[in-house]
Protein backbone atom coordinates (compact mmCIF):
# COMPACT_ATOMS: atom_id res chain seq x y z
CA UNK A 1 0.00 0.00 0.00
CA UNK A 2 1.27 3.47 -0.88
CA UNK A 3 2.37 5.54 2.12
CA UNK A 4 1.29 8.79 0.46
CA UNK A 5 -1.68 10.10 -1.47
CA UNK A 6 -0.89 10.94 -5.07
CA UNK A 7 -1.59 14.64 -5.76
CA UNK A 8 -4.10 15.33 -8.50
CA UNK A 9 -4.88 18.48 -10.42
CA UNK A 10 -7.50 19.21 -7.76
CA UNK A 11 -5.43 18.45 -4.65
CA UNK A 12 -1.97 19.67 -5.68
CA UNK A 13 -1.23 22.80 -3.66
CA UNK A 14 -0.33 25.71 -5.89
CA UNK A 15 -0.15 28.55 -3.39
CA UNK A 16 2.57 27.92 -0.79
CA UNK A 17 3.16 24.35 -1.98
CA UNK A 18 5.72 23.80 0.79
CA UNK A 19 2.81 23.59 3.22
CA UNK A 20 1.28 20.68 1.34
CA UNK A 21 1.22 17.27 3.03
CA UNK A 22 0.33 14.03 1.26
CA UNK A 23 1.78 11.53 3.74
CA UNK A 24 -1.01 9.19 4.81
CA UNK A 25 0.06 8.93 8.43
CA UNK A 26 0.01 12.71 8.87
CA UNK A 27 -3.30 13.08 7.05
CA UNK A 28 -4.86 10.36 9.18
CA UNK A 29 -3.52 11.95 12.37
CA UNK A 30 -5.32 15.20 11.56
CA UNK A 31 -8.55 13.37 10.78
CA UNK A 32 -8.29 11.35 13.99
CA UNK A 33 -7.73 14.39 16.19
CA UNK A 34 -10.61 16.51 14.91
CA UNK A 35 -14.23 15.39 15.11
CA UNK A 36 -16.23 17.94 13.12
CA UNK A 37 -15.98 18.20 9.35
CA UNK A 38 -17.63 20.44 6.79
CA UNK A 39 -19.10 18.78 3.71
CA UNK A 40 -19.62 20.85 0.58
CA UNK A 41 -21.90 19.76 -2.26
CA UNK A 42 -24.07 21.25 -5.00
CA UNK A 43 -27.78 20.57 -5.56
CA UNK A 44 -29.51 22.08 -8.60
CA UNK A 45 -26.74 24.63 -8.97
CA UNK A 46 -26.94 25.74 -5.32
CA UNK A 47 -23.84 25.08 -3.19
CA UNK A 48 -24.25 23.97 0.42
CA UNK A 49 -21.72 23.39 3.20
CA UNK A 50 -22.87 21.29 6.16
CA UNK A 51 -21.02 20.73 9.45
CA UNK A 52 -21.34 17.21 10.82
CA UNK A 53 -19.63 14.52 12.87
CA UNK A 54 -17.42 11.97 11.17
CA UNK A 55 -15.01 9.13 11.86
CA UNK A 56 -12.25 7.41 9.93
CA UNK A 57 -11.93 3.65 9.51
CA UNK A 58 -8.76 2.88 7.60
CA UNK A 59 -9.12 4.62 4.20
CA UNK A 60 -12.80 5.47 4.57
CA UNK A 61 -14.40 8.47 6.23
CA UNK A 62 -17.94 7.98 7.52
CA UNK A 63 -20.25 10.96 7.87
CA UNK A 64 -23.41 11.12 9.96
CA UNK A 65 -26.64 12.72 8.78
CA UNK A 66 -30.41 12.58 9.18
CA UNK A 67 -32.25 10.50 6.60
CA UNK A 68 -34.63 13.41 5.98
CA UNK A 69 -31.88 16.00 5.59
CA UNK A 70 -31.07 17.90 2.37
CA UNK A 71 -27.71 16.16 2.07
CA UNK A 72 -29.19 12.66 2.25
CA UNK A 73 -32.05 13.56 -0.07
CA UNK A 74 -29.60 14.76 -2.72
CA UNK A 75 -27.51 11.61 -2.72
CA UNK A 76 -29.40 9.20 -4.92
CA UNK A 77 -26.74 6.87 -6.30
CA UNK A 78 -23.96 9.12 -5.08
CA UNK A 79 -22.94 12.75 -4.74
CA UNK A 80 -19.65 14.49 -5.43
CA UNK A 81 -18.52 16.18 -2.23
CA UNK A 82 -15.65 18.12 -0.74
CA UNK A 83 -14.95 17.20 2.87
CA UNK A 84 -12.74 19.49 4.95
CA UNK A 85 -11.32 19.33 8.47
CA UNK A 86 -9.36 22.07 10.23
CA UNK A 87 -7.45 22.22 13.51
CA UNK A 88 -6.31 25.65 14.75
CA UNK A 89 -3.01 25.53 16.66
CA UNK A 90 -2.17 29.19 17.15
CA UNK A 91 -2.76 32.85 16.30
CA UNK A 92 0.22 34.24 14.41
CA UNK A 93 0.53 37.93 15.29
CA UNK A 94 2.88 39.85 13.04
CA UNK A 95 4.11 43.44 13.08
CA UNK A 96 2.03 44.25 10.04
CA UNK A 97 -1.63 43.50 9.47
CA UNK A 98 -0.79 41.91 6.13
CA UNK A 99 1.40 39.18 7.64
CA UNK A 100 -0.97 38.06 10.40
CA UNK A 101 -1.80 34.40 10.03
CA UNK A 102 -2.93 31.24 11.80
CA UNK A 103 -1.01 28.06 12.55
CA UNK A 104 -3.27 25.24 11.48
CA UNK A 105 -3.56 21.70 10.14
CA UNK A 106 -6.23 20.99 7.55
CA UNK A 107 -7.35 18.17 5.28
CA UNK A 108 -9.34 18.32 2.05
CA UNK A 109 -10.83 15.13 0.60
CA UNK A 110 -12.69 14.98 -2.69
CA UNK A 111 -14.79 12.18 -4.12
CA UNK A 112 -18.19 10.60 -4.55
CA UNK A 113 -19.97 9.79 -1.32
CA UNK A 114 -22.11 6.68 -1.07
CA UNK A 115 -24.92 5.77 1.28
CA UNK A 116 -24.01 2.91 3.59
CA UNK A 117 -26.76 0.32 3.22
CA UNK A 118 -25.13 -2.82 4.61
CA UNK A 119 -26.44 -3.16 8.20
CA UNK A 120 -23.16 -4.46 9.62
CA UNK A 121 -21.11 -1.73 7.98
CA UNK A 122 -23.61 0.86 9.15
CA UNK A 123 -23.40 -0.30 12.76
CA UNK A 124 -19.59 -0.35 12.63
CA UNK A 125 -19.61 3.16 11.24
CA UNK A 126 -22.03 4.42 13.89
CA UNK A 127 -19.95 2.82 16.62
CA UNK A 128 -16.87 4.56 15.23
CA UNK A 129 -18.71 7.88 15.01
CA UNK A 130 -19.74 7.59 18.65
CA UNK A 131 -16.34 6.44 19.91
CA UNK A 132 -14.50 9.04 17.84
CA UNK A 133 -16.13 11.77 19.92
CA UNK A 134 -15.92 9.90 23.26
CA UNK A 135 -13.75 6.75 23.29
CA UNK A 136 -15.50 3.54 24.41
CA UNK A 137 -18.89 5.27 24.63
CA UNK A 138 -20.67 2.90 22.23
CA UNK A 139 -20.42 -0.07 24.59
CA UNK A 140 -21.81 1.95 27.52
CA UNK A 141 -24.96 3.38 26.00
CA UNK A 142 -28.14 1.89 24.58
CA UNK A 143 -27.36 1.22 20.95
CA UNK A 144 -29.74 2.22 18.12
CA UNK A 145 -32.80 0.11 17.47
CA UNK A 146 -34.03 -0.62 13.94
CA UNK A 147 -36.23 2.49 13.81
CA UNK A 148 -33.36 4.73 14.86
CA UNK A 149 -31.05 3.10 12.33
CA UNK A 150 -33.66 3.75 9.66
CA UNK A 151 -33.85 7.47 10.43
CA UNK A 152 -30.07 7.87 10.30
CA UNK A 153 -28.06 8.16 7.11
CA UNK A 154 -24.39 7.20 7.13
CA UNK A 155 -22.27 8.22 4.18
CA UNK A 156 -18.89 6.81 3.22
CA UNK A 157 -16.14 8.62 1.34
CA UNK A 158 -13.09 6.71 0.16
CA UNK A 159 -9.87 8.57 0.96
CA UNK A 160 -8.31 8.62 -2.50
CA UNK A 161 -8.06 12.24 -3.64
CA UNK A 162 -6.71 13.87 -0.50
CA UNK A 163 -4.28 16.54 0.62
CA UNK A 164 -3.39 18.29 3.85
CA UNK A 165 -2.03 21.76 4.45
CA UNK A 166 -0.06 22.75 7.52
CA UNK A 167 1.32 26.08 8.77
CA UNK A 168 3.71 26.18 11.71
CA UNK A 169 6.13 28.69 13.15
CA UNK A 170 6.36 32.40 13.98
CA UNK A 171 5.23 35.37 11.89
CA UNK A 172 7.36 36.33 8.92
CA UNK A 173 7.53 40.10 8.65
CA UNK A 174 9.06 42.35 6.05
CA UNK A 175 12.57 43.29 7.14
CA UNK A 176 11.72 46.97 7.56
CA UNK A 177 8.86 46.11 9.94
CA UNK A 178 10.99 44.35 12.57
CA UNK A 179 11.62 47.73 14.23
CA UNK A 180 7.89 48.40 14.57
CA UNK A 181 7.11 48.78 18.32
CA UNK A 182 4.46 46.09 18.75
CA UNK A 183 4.53 42.57 20.23
CA UNK A 184 4.76 39.78 17.66
CA UNK A 185 4.72 36.01 18.01
CA UNK A 186 2.35 33.07 18.35
CA UNK A 187 -0.56 32.67 20.77
CA UNK A 188 -1.12 28.89 21.09
CA UNK A 189 -4.69 27.65 20.79
CA UNK A 190 -5.70 24.37 22.41
CA UNK A 191 -9.02 22.55 22.68
CA UNK A 192 -9.73 21.10 26.09
CA UNK A 193 -12.72 19.61 27.88
CA UNK A 194 -14.22 21.47 30.80
CA UNK A 195 -15.75 20.03 33.95
CA UNK A 196 -18.67 17.71 33.04
CA UNK A 197 -22.14 19.08 33.86
CA UNK A 198 -24.60 16.22 34.62
CA UNK A 199 -28.20 16.49 33.55
CA UNK A 200 -30.92 16.61 36.19
CA UNK A 201 -31.80 12.91 35.95
CA UNK A 202 -28.39 11.27 35.95
CA UNK A 203 -28.28 8.36 38.35
CA UNK A 204 -26.42 8.89 41.63
CA UNK A 205 -22.75 7.95 41.77
CA UNK A 206 -22.34 7.99 37.98
CA UNK A 207 -19.49 10.21 36.82
CA UNK A 208 -17.89 11.06 33.50
CA UNK A 209 -14.08 11.12 33.38
CA UNK A 210 -12.74 13.73 30.99
CA UNK A 211 -9.37 11.97 30.95
CA UNK A 212 -10.99 9.50 28.54
CA UNK A 213 -11.01 12.27 25.94
CA UNK A 214 -7.22 12.22 25.92
CA UNK A 215 -7.49 8.94 24.00
CA UNK A 216 -9.21 10.67 21.10
CA UNK A 217 -6.01 11.75 19.35
CA UNK A 218 -4.07 8.60 20.20
CA UNK A 219 -3.02 6.57 17.13
Domain count, the chain: 1
Q: Are 108 and 83 in contact (CB under 8 A)?
A: yes
Residue 151 confidence (pLDDT): 87
Contact 105, 30 (CB under 8 A): yes
- Please state, in angstroms and rounded to a whole number, the distance separating the CA atoms of residues 109 and 39: 10
Looking at the domain assignment, is residue 204 inside a domain? yes
Going by the DSSP 8-state scheme, the letter that residue 144 receives in this structure is P
User: What rounded mean pLDDT belongs to the chain?
Assistant: 89
Residue 81 is part of which domain span?
A: 17-174+183-212
Output the pLDDT for position 218: 41
- Are 195 and 117 in contact, with CB atoms under 8 Å apart? no
pLDDT tens sequence across 86-124: 999 999 999 999 999 999 999 999 999 999 999 999 999
The least confident of 12-16, 49-53, 124-128 is: 12-16
pLDDT digits (tens, 9 = 90+) for 155-208: 999 999 999 999 999 999 999 999 999 999 999 999 888 889 999 999 989 998
Residue 219, in any domain of the structure = no
pLDDT band at 219 (very low <50, low <70, confident <90, very high): very low
The Cα 102–Cα 108 span in angstroms is: 17
User: Residue 57's domain is classified under what CATH number?
Assistant: 2.30.110.10
| Predicted pLDDT at 74 | 63
169, 104 Cβ separation under 8 angstroms: no
Amino acid sequence: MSEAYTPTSRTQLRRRPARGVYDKARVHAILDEAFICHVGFVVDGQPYVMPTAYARIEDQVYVHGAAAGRFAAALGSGLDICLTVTLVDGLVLARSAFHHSINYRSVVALGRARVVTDPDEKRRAMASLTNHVVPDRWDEVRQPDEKELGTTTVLALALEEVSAKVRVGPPIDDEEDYAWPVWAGVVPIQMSAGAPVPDARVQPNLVFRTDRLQKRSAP
